[in-house]
Amino acid sequence: MRGIDDGHGCITANGHEEEPVSTEILRQFVPLNDLTEENLRELAGKTPVEQLPKGKSLFRKGDRDNYSFYLLSGVLLLLGDNNQQTRLVGGTAPTRFPIGHHRPRQSTAIADSDVTFFRIDNDLLDILLTWDQNAGYMVSEIDVEEEQDGSDPEIDGDWMTMMLRSEIFHRIPPSNIQQVFMRMEATQYKANETVITQGEDGDYYYFIKQGRAVVTHTTRSGKEIKLAELEAGSGFGEEALISETKRNANVTMLTDGVLMRMAKEDFVELLKAPVLHTVDFAKAQEMVKHGAILLDVRLESEHKNAHLQGSINIPLYLLRIKARQLDKDKRYIVYCDTGRRSSSAAYLLNERGYDALYLEGGLRGLSREDVGQLKTGT
């Protein structure tokens, strides 16, 4: 296989000889094994197998690169402080997780034999995880609430009254409430007309004033999977606006209807900015000493690999269902790797009357000294 040197001695496939990692291989690694088949295929298409000759470094202590490295074969030595060495052998249990995942890098990785590996762009991975989890929890929440609330929102009052039922309006300035209603515009939709298309950038938040809609997910093969139905009194579309990710599903009208919609800029100004607040790690530690709770909304496998000591773990896709188990008298500091998933989670919790902030920059934003406070393994 022909290749190029990337500066650390890594040899990557070049041109038409590039060899992508298969989805079967990707599925053996954490947290890649929690991605949908569709997103695994997308990731595989962007992920070539790479080679590292013996004696070359994969990364060096102090590096702040934005990759997760996974060892496929060969032996790597991780050289840390005080001449501490950790030997990693491809195909063993420890190498199912990213190698030296924390930033800045806490060790130098040297090939003790010829090595094959692959690297994942962390931003891409985090977007895919956020997308998958948002789609999952949206459906779960709709199904659960429809079972518990047999009322018909279309009969229960006008759309403003229905919208004001959300706890989010108790947390924004009164002047913002008036502005929310002033800036929302009524839009007529016909039956079978598409409101949101999966994969597009988020542009509006929607609230159903009249009519019904269906939520579907399009697989890579083009198959449409029905996720849920939405009735008058339901809002949708906020996830992409909060976490800055692509739309994770399609929304199509089942009947003629009227949707109230708010542009992304107005949503951010009037609802997101007043409600969503970040906290740095030093302040978070101080708040924990006074009773705040650290809430990790990453996947269970990510939490087991490394997490902040004392944190509880509720993955984002389960949070809407399990939020009822949390204590509204407590303050929650929500975190993930980057802030994408935790910003969605914090908004969701505030919307339900909880007091939630999210960790600025996530775990990847921790300083070198703070990274040492992470608890690794189970």
- Per domain, the residue ranges of the chain are 3-120, 151-274, 276-376
H helix or E strand, kind and range, residue 44: helix 37-45
Residue type, 101: H
* pLDDT category of residue 299 using cuts at 50, 70 and 90: confident
- Residue 121's pLDDT is 85
What is d(CA 29, CA 225) in angstroms, rounded to the nearest whole number? 26
Average pLDDT of the residues in 297-304: 86
CATH homologous superfamily of 276-376 equals Rhodanese-like domain (3.40.250.10)
The pLDDT of residue 138: 44
Confidence of residue 294 (pLDDT cuts 50, 70, 90): very high
Read off the pTM. 0.62
What whole-number distance in Å separates Cα of residue 18 and Cα of residue 1? 8
Written as six digits, the tokens of 139 are: 């459906």
Q: Which fold has domain 151-274?
A: Jelly Rolls (2.60.120)
Residue 92 is given by DSSP the state: S
Q: Write down the pLDDT at residue 126.
A: 74
The reply to whether omega before 104 is within 30° of 0 (cis) is: yes
- State the average pLDDT over residues 168-191: 89
Say whether pLDDT at 162 is over 50: yes
Lowest-confidence range among 81-95, 123-137, 229-243?
A: 123-137
What is the average per-residue pLDDT within 364-369? 82
Burial label, 339 (beta-carbon count in 10 A; 0-12, 13-18, 19+): buried
Tokens of 317: 């896709």
Predicted local confidence at residue 222, as pLDDT: 76
User: DSSP states of 242-309 as a string?
Assistant: HHT-B--SEEEESS-EEEEEEEHHHHIIIIIHHH--EE-HHHHHHHHHTT-EEEE-S-HHHHHHEEET
Domains 151-274 and 276-376 share a fold: no
**b/e for 322-337, b at 16 or more Cβ within 10 A?**
ebeebeeeebbbbbbb
DSSP 342-369: HHHHHHHHHHTT-EEEEETTTGGG--HH
48-57, 70-79, 152-161: range with lowest mean pLDDT = 152-161
**In the predicted structure, residue 223 carries a pLDDT above the cut 80:** no
Sheet with strand 293-296: strands edge to edge: 278-279, 355-359, 331-335, 293-296, 312-313
Tokens of 369: 């000294």
Distance CA 95, CA 193 (A): 48
Q: What pLDDT is recorded for position 149?
A: 43
Q: Which CATH number fits domain 3-120: 3.90.650.10, 2.60.120.10, 3.10.20.440, 1.10.10.60?
A: 2.60.120.10
195 Cβ contact list (under 8 Å, min separation 6): 189, 206, 213, 251, 252, 253, 259
Task: Grade residue 234 by pLDDT with cuts at 50, 70 and 90.
Answer: confident
Judge residue 209's burial from the number of C-beta atoms within 10 Å of its C-beta, 0-12 exposed, 13-18 middle, 19 or more buried: buried
Q: Per-residue confidence at 220, pLDDT binned at 50, 70, 90?
A: low
Mean pLDDT, the chain, as a whole number?
83
CB atoms within 10 A of CB 103: 21
